[in-house]
Structure 1
Amino acid sequence: MDSVTAFVTDVINDNYWKVIPFLLIAAGVYFGARTLVVQLRMIPDMFRAVKEKPHPEDSHTDEQGISAFKAFTISAASRVGTGNVAGVAVAITLGGPGAVFWMWMIALLGGATSFVEATLAQLWKTKNPDGTYRGGPAYYMTRGLNMRWLAVIFGVAITITYGFVYNSIQANSIVEATSSSFAGVIDSSSTSFKGIIGLILVVITGVIIFGGVHRIANFTQIVVPVMALAYLAVGILVLILRIDAVPGMIADIVGHALGFKEIAGAAVGAAFMNGMRRGLFSNEAGQGSAPNAAATATVSHPVKQGLVQTLGVYFDTLLVCSITAFIILLSNPVYGADVQGASLTQSALSSEVGAWGVHFVTIILFFLAFSSVIGNYYLAETNLEYFTTNPLAVNGFRVLVLACVFLGAISPLPLVWALGDTFAATMVVINLIAIVPLGGVAVKLLRNYSQQKAKGLDPVFHRDMLPELKNVECWDGSDAVTRRGGQIVREV
C-alpha cells in the first residue's frame, strides 16, 4: 500500500499539480476581469438570492421545486465537511501557516469561476418528470459547446471522483476522528474497529441515498447549517478568548506565504502547493461539482444561482476553513512532519477548551462529513443520469458507492487524500476546457440581470431575451417564478 501511495503522490500528483494552481489562478483572473469582479461587487445580491423560494405554483405535490437555499445546501453538503476540518490540518502540517493564505486566495479568485460555472449550469439545465431539475458541466458541454465527447469524459470523471474517491475520504476522516474519541477506551486503531464504523456509515448512507433528491435536500438543509454554525460558534468563542494571539497568527500566515518568514519543515513552495490543493478540495471552485447542485434550483434568473454558489465558496473557505486554521495555529503544530488530519484539529481544540473538544469535533465532523457523502453521491448520480436513468444501473451504482464508503473507512489516510488530489485536478482540466470559451455567455446573462436591476425590477429570464443562445431547453416561462405579475416576460 505504501508503494501505491508513493506512486500516486510522487509520480502523478507532484507533476500534475505543477500546472493546476496556475490554471485556477488564470481562470479566476480572467473571469474576474470579464465580470468586473462580480465575486466582490455583488455580495449583497448573493445574500438576497439565497433567500429566493420557488413560486407556490411550482411547489405543488407533483412538481415540488428545489429552492435556491436547498440547492445551496446540497452543494454546501459536499463543500463543508472533511476539507474544512481535516483538510486544513493536512495543509498546515505539510505547508505551514502560509498554506492558509493560498486557500484564501483560491477562494477569492475562484468566486468568479464558481459564478460562471453555476450560471451556465442553470441556463442549460433540463427538467425531470417529477418537476425537479438536473444539469451541470456535462449538460453545458453538450448543449453549449456541442462537445458530447467532452461531456462523456467529464461525466465519468465526476462520477468516479464524487461517488467513489471523495466518499472514501469522508469516511476515512470520520473514522480518524472517532478513533481519537475512543482512544484509551478500546483499540480504536484496529481494523475491526474501523470496519464497524464503516458498516454503520454504509447502513445510514444507504437509507438516505435510496430516498432520492428531495430526501437528500431535506436532510442537508437541516444538518449542514446546524453543524456548521455549532462549529463556528465554538471556534469564534476560542478566538475571542485568545484574541491577543490573532494578529500574530495573521502575520505568520501572510509572512510565510509571501516568503517574509521561513518556518522549518514548510517552505514557501509547500505553502503554495498545499494551500491550493486543500483550497480546491474544500471550496471546489472551478472543479465542476457545485454546478450540478446549482442546476437543481428553481430561480427566476440563472445569475441568481451563480451568485448563491459564489457565496458558498466564501462561506466554506473564508469562514469555516479560517476558523479551523486559527484553532490549529494556536496549538503551535509541527510543520513538515507526518500528515495529520482531523486528529490535529481535535487535539488543538481540546488544548483550548478541554478534553470535550475532542468529542465535539468528532460529532461535528461526523455530521459534516456524512452530509458530504450524501452531497457527493447526489453530484455523482446526476452525472450518471446523463448516461442512463435505468433503475438497475442507478441501484448498482448506489451499491458501489456504499462499498467505497466502507473501503475508505479502513484505508490509510495518505492514500485516500492523494487519490482525491489526482481526481480533483482531472476534473479542473476538463471543466476549464468548457467554461473558458463559454464565459461570454455568463457575461451576457450577468448584463441582462444588471439591466433589469437598474430598472428597479426583480430580474427574470426568458430564453427569448438572448435568442442567440442555442439548445436552451428550459426558461420558456413555464415556471411561475420566471413570470412577472403572472405574465411571461420576453424582453428586458
Structure 2
Amino acid sequence: MAEFLTTVNGYIWSNSLIYLCLAAGVYFSIRSRFVQVRQIPEMIRLLLHGEKSAAGVSSFQALAMSLSGRVGTGNIAGVATAIAFGGPGALFWMWAVAFLGASTSFVECTLGQIYKTRDPLTGEYRGGPAYYFSRAMAHTKAAPAFKIYGFIFAAVTVLACGLLLPSVQSNSMAAAMNQAWGVSEWVVAVGAVIVLAFVIIGGVKRIAAFASVVVPFMAVAYILLAIVIVFANASELPDVLTLILRSAFGADAAFGAIVGAAVMWGVKRGVYSNEAGQGTGPHAAAAAEVSHPAKQGLVQAFAVYIDTLFICTATGFLILSTGAYRVFEGESADGKVLADGGILPSDVAVGPAYAQNAVDTLWGGFGSTFVAVSLAFFCITTIIAYYYMADTNLRFLVGKYATTPIPVLRGTLGSNTTLVLQALILVSVAAGAVSTASEAWTLGDIGVGLMAWLNIIGILILQQPAYKALRDFERQKREGKNPVFDPVALDIKNATFWETYEPEAERTKATAKS
C-alpha cells in the first residue's frame, strides 16, 4: 500500500502540477495588474475595518479561519522538509509561489464570495470551489458539465480535508511533543481528539471565535521568537541569503545537482503551507460578511503573505542561520548527505526537530517545548479548519440530508452524515498521530495535489467575474464610496445571493426606523 500511495503521489505531484501552479500565478498576476502589490494598503485597512453579522463572520475572523487552515505543520515541519530534500534554495521557491499565489488566492476567494449562499439548515454563509463551479456557468450549455465538476471537487475535498490532511497535522504534533517531552503518540492522539471534538461540534461561529484568538497570538509569538534568534545570529544573515539564492538556481556547487528538487519542494511545500490555488481559502472567504466580494479577495491574498513571507521565512531563517539543517540527495533521508549545518544530532528525524534544535541554540531545552506548543496550536486550528471545509462540501453534496438520519445507523451516535464526518476526522487525527511521518505526508500531499489540479484548472476557466469585481471595487473606491456589489450591473450571472443582498449597516438602519 505504501508503495502504491507513493506512486500515486508521484503522478499527482509531477512537474506538470509545479508548472501549472507557477504559470497560473504569473497569468493571474498579469491579468489583475499585480493586485497583490497595488492593493497592499487596502488589504491592511480591510483587516481592521470589517463588517460582520449573525450569518457571516468579520473579515478578520474569516482571515483567522483561513490562516488556521494555512498556518500549521507546513510552516515548521514543511519548511524543514523542503530544506532537507530541496536544499536552502527551496525557501526562495516558496517565496516565489507565495508572491504569485497571492493573485491566485485573490481570484479564487473573490469567486468564493460572488457565488456564496446561505445554508438553509444553519443560516450561515457557505461557499467555495464546488459552489462557484456549479453556479458560474449555470446559464450556459456547459452547465451540466460544470455541475458534475463541482460535485467531483466537493467529493475530493471531503476526502482530502476529512481523511487525508488531518493526519499530517496530528503526526507532526505528536512528533514534536515526543521530541520535547517523550510523550507517547497515543497520549497525543487521545488528547487531540478530545479537544477537537469539543470545538468542531460547535459549528462555524465557534470555529471562527476560537481561530481569531489562537491563531494571531501564536503566529506573532512564534515570529517574534524566530526574529530574536535570527538577530542573535545576524552575522550569518548575508551568508544565509547568498546560500538561498545560489542554491535556488543551482549556482552553489553543493546543491547544483538538486536544483530541480529545490523547485519541486519549494512549490510543493509552498502550496501546502499557504494553500494558494488549492481551493481551501474560498471556504473561509465565503463565510465573511462584506459589502463587496473583492474585499475578502484582498484580505485572503494578504493571508498568503502572512503564512509564507512571514511565518515560513521565520522558520527558514531560524533553521539556516543556526545551522540546524541537513540536506539529503535523492529527496530521501536515506540519501547521501550533501550539506550539514553542524548542530543536529546524528539521529534527528527530518521535521519539527530541525526548528526545535534551532531554538535550543539560544535557550537550551526551551526550543523543543516552545516549538511543540506552537505546533500543537497551529495543528489543532488547522484540523478545525479542515473540518469546516469538509463539512461545507458535505453540505453541498447532500444538502438538507446532512442532518437526516442514516437508516442503517439510526439510533447511534453517527446517525447522520455530519456526525459521521465528525467521527471520521477524529479517527484520521488519531491514526495520523501514531503513523510514520512518510505515510502521513504522502496522504497529505495526495489530498493537496488533487484539490489543486481541480481548482486551478477550474478558476482558469471561470476567472472573469473576479476581474469584473476588482475593477468595480477600484472604481467605487476612486469615487470615494464604500464599495457595494451589484452583480446585475456587472453582468455577472447566477450570483443569486448578491441580487437580494442588503448590507448589514443598511438592515440595521431600516430596523431602527421601523
Give the C-alpha shift of residue 331 in structure 1: 3.3
Pair 1:476 & 2:499 matched:
yes
Tell whether the 8 Å contact from 1:74 to 1:221 is kept in structure 2 after alignment.
Answer: yes
Following the alignment from structure 2 to structure 1, what is the Cα–Cα distance between the partners of residues 40 and 179?
39
Structure 1 residue ranges without an equivalent (≥5): 488-492
Query: What residue number does 1:83 align with?
Result: 74
Query: What residue number does 1:51 align with?
Result: 48
Tell whether the 8 Å contact from 1:117 to 1:435 is kept in structure 2 after alignment.
Answer: yes
Query: What residue number does 1:353 align with?
Result: 363
Give the C-alpha shift of residue 234 in structure 1: 0.4
Pair 1:213 & 2:174 matched:
no
Give the C-alpha shift of residue 482 in structure 1: 7.4
Q: Give the letter aligned to residue 165 of structure 2.
A: Y
Pair 1:305 & 2:296 matched:
yes
Q: Give the letter aligned to residue 349 of structure 1.
A: V
Tell whether the 8 Å contact from 1:181 to 1:359 is kept in structure 2 after alignment.
Answer: yes
Following the alignment from structure 1 to structure 2, what is the Cα–Cα distance between the partners of residues 176 and 423?
21
Give the C-alpha shift of residue 396 in structure 1: 0.8
Pair 1:151 & 2:150 matched:
yes
Pair 1:28 & 2:51 matched:
no
Following the alignment from structure 1 to structure 2, what is the Cα–Cα distance between the partners of residues 13 and 289?
22
Structure 2 residue ranges without an equivalent (≥5): 138-142, 334-348, 404-415
Tell whether the 8 Å contact from 1:79 to 1:284 is kept in structure 2 after alignment.
Answer: yes
Q: How many matched pairs?
A: 469
Match of residue 8, structure 1, among 5, 9, 15 = 5
Pair 1:455 & 2:455 matched:
no
Give the C-alpha shift of residue 328 in structure 1: 0.8
Percent identity, aligned pairs only? 40
Tell whether the 8 Å contact from 1:460 to 1:482 is kept in structure 2 after alignment.
Answer: no
Pair 1:177 & 2:168 matched:
no
1:114-138 deviation per Cα after TM superposition (whole angstroms, max 9, x unaligned): 0000000000000134442000000
Tell whether the 8 Å contact from 1:173 to 1:342 is kept in structure 2 after alignment.
Answer: yes
Q: Where does 1:36-435 land on structure 2 (aligned, <5 Å)?
A: 36-54=33-51, 59=53, 63-129=54-120, 130-145=122-137, 146=143, 147-183=146-182, 188=183, 193-263=184-254, 267-332=258-323, 333-336=325-328, 338=333, 340-388=350-398, 389=400, 390-391=402-403, 392-435=416-459
Q: Give the letter aligned to residue 155 of structure 1.
A: A
Following the alignment from structure 2 to structure 1, what is the Cα–Cα distance between the partners of residues 254 and 213?
41
Query: What residue number does 1:464 align with?
Result: 488
Following the alignment from structure 2 to structure 1, what is the Cα–Cα distance between the partners of residues 36 and 499?
28
Describe the SS at the equivalent of 1:475: helix
Give the C-alpha shift of residue 486 in structure 1: 5.8
Tell whether the 8 Å contact from 1:96 to 1:263 is kept in structure 2 after alignment.
Answer: no
Give the C-alpha shift of residue 262 in structure 1: 2.9
Give the C-alpha shift of residue 479 in structure 1: 3.2
Tell whether the 8 Å contact from 2:204 to 2:388 is kept in structure 1 after alignment.
Answer: yes
RMSD value over aligned CA atoms?
1.8
Tell whether the 8 Å contact from 2:68 to 2:385 is kept in structure 1 after alignment.
Answer: yes
Describe the SS at the equivalent of 1:335: strand
Following the alignment from structure 1 to structure 2, what is the Cα–Cα distance between the partners of residues 462 and 485?
20
Instruction: Call closer, same or farther: CA 1:151–1:355 in 2, change over 3 Å.
Output: same
Following the alignment from structure 1 to structure 2, what is the Cα–Cα distance between the partners of residues 144 and 478?
18
Q: Give the letter aligned to residue 144 of structure 1.
A: A
Tell whether the 8 Å contact from 2:112 to 2:127 is kept in structure 1 after alignment.
Answer: yes
Mean Cα deviation higher: 256-265 or 292-301: 256-265
Following the alignment from structure 1 to structure 2, what is the Cα–Cα distance between the partners of residues 385 and 40?
36
Following the alignment from structure 2 to structure 1, what is the Cα–Cα distance between the partners of residues 178 and 234?
31
Following the alignment from structure 2 to structure 1, what is the Cα–Cα distance between the partners of residues 501 and 350?
51
Following the alignment from structure 1 to structure 2, what is the Cα–Cα distance between the partners of residues 423 and 289?
11
Following the alignment from structure 1 to structure 2, what is the Cα–Cα distance between the partners of residues 254 and 481?
49
Give the C-alpha shift of residue 14 in structure 1: 5.7
Q: Where does 1:438-449 land on structure 2 (aligned, <5 Å)?
A: 438-449=462-473
Following the alignment from structure 1 to structure 2, what is the Cα–Cα distance between the partners of residues 372 and 416?
15
Tell whether the 8 Å contact from 1:262 to 1:268 is kept in structure 2 after alignment.
Answer: no
Tell whether the 8 Å contact from 1:122 to 1:302 is kept in structure 2 after alignment.
Answer: yes
Give the C-alpha shift of residue 265 in structure 1: 9.3
Tell whether the 8 Å contact from 2:250 to 2:256 is kept in structure 1 after alignment.
Answer: no
Following the alignment from structure 2 to structure 1, what is the Cα–Cα distance between the partners of residues 352 and 281?
24
1:336-376 deviation per Cα after TM superposition (whole angstroms, max 9, x unaligned): 16261111111122123221111010111101111111111
Describe the SS at the equivalent of 1:457: coil
Q: Give the letter aligned to residue 413 of structure 1.
A: A
Following the alignment from structure 1 to structure 2, what is the Cα–Cα distance between the partners of residues 52 and 448?
20
Following the alignment from structure 2 to structure 1, what is the Cα–Cα distance between the partners of residues 82 and 17?
16
Tell whether the 8 Å contact from 1:257 to 1:271 is kept in structure 2 after alignment.
Answer: yes
Q: Give me the TM-score of the superposition, normalised by structure 2.
A: 0.88
Tell whether the 8 Å contact from 1:216 to 1:374 is kept in structure 2 after alignment.
Answer: yes
Give the C-alpha shift of residue 65 in structure 1: 2.8
Query: What residue number does 2:337 align with?
Result: none
